[in-house]
Structure 1
């Protein structure tokens, strides 16, 4: 597990104009930590989006103490609310979880359009205000991504359970690495399970592995948190199942098989707006298409055939690839 880099004061401070702030203090002075501190400043001063935490100010890199001053977000993290201390008091209902998924996807889509890869997407880095609106935080590992390259070669960093396996194996960071991490977040939102849990079976310690297995077997009842209304509300059953399918695409091992964040955002909005119980939204050829689910076959829903006779990796998946038009890369440390 990564070593803590910062101390964040638990009580908010207040500026002269009345704004409440959170102060983040770097307490380990070494080159790597200072570099991440400066990186976070550089990234956040470029960005303005309602679903990203706002940086109000900072100290100089030459100061004895390195401080970042953020807007104060009072309602904890998504992790707190779905499997942490706050989950017992007031569990998040499905409508709020769906909004969290969409707002987080909106923030990541904005980052990618700004040529920035977050590199540490996880529920602990998704903050919530008192209205449960999303504020994505922690840009210490984020990278500016030149628009004329397909990947950056760099040593893998991030949080276990969320790191793109292709990035981990090949040291190639792309925007699809964030897509993979967001897929894990989607599974957390529908399952209320932790991304890593050593109490689970050894092949399912990573939530991504557990989810892929359940979705391939269409065992959604073993994945989706029943307290959300999965068994009692047909619309919630449909929506959570479709979100699971979107997550499945995000969790593909090959990055070319994953959608972009823009495509994921579009799919999630379509799911939220869907009314027809016979309609399912799928990602195909970089577009979100509306298709009618066929009636169950006599053999049940576990068998689905492609036009070319191959079995799909996921029940509702389509044969699609997103292939980069360029093979240019850049290396860095």
Structure 2
């Protein structure tokens, strides 16, 4: 699974060890890309295992387990695996028999490893918070190669306890089992980083230049969180709003041309508003005929962008009277996206190389 540059003797201890000393591999630096996760397949039990792990996370669902677990193991895990599996079927990478998120994240790791090919001490790995390959397995591969320092990169531009924090939690759960624990750093949220804003702006400009229509409105649609989480202090909403504001300033647009919305609701509680599906419906009914949607909170295209936005939300807009709809792809492993990731990683490696 490793995609880092190959090292020679650099991965071994440079000191002489006494006779009988356990073998030691040190001296390497790991870079670990992490994203949300993916099921192993679209069948019922693959989806069941994935959803159980995801929806059992107390960072994601903060309800008391005595209240939530009967719901989770009752109605949710009885019915949701079939529906989720059917949606994944629409976007599944059949050539590699995996989800697009897994394909893209692997590609990001490979391209980042290529960017560090001149740094023989660097090894790049990737792992998922939920599903496979796990964060724990990625840490195991890094330490086996002699990485005693690790830069963890949660691929979430905007911080939320439901994403960045739980990924870091999982990293430390893995480290708790290691006697010779490596030193770790975690890349901070990069929602307002100039390199990130510039990469987003370039992706919008390039995409819109290739369309045969001009969108009257562009929506920046972010994954939602329950409003209660924001009220308890989660900074996610503020991070999303700042990303859109900076992107708007970079593009020279006003707040009517580029708007913030939130998607992917779950359950009956109120989530961050305005909702993406309700917004596109209202725009179409108000006479807007052409829109585009970008997902700045996603570093890679996945079920929420490919099936929900480019599928369900597109259908809502067209059904309400819209005529032209375009989804702007995530940065993925594009040149602009990878240049941005490399910039942030090299910044965090300062003092280690």
* TM-score greater than 0.5 by the shorter chain: no
Larger Rg: 2
User: Please, what TM-score do these two structures have when normalized by structure 1?
Assistant: 0.25
User: Please, what TM-score do these two structures have when normalized by structure 2?
Assistant: 0.24
Higher share of residues assigned helix: 2
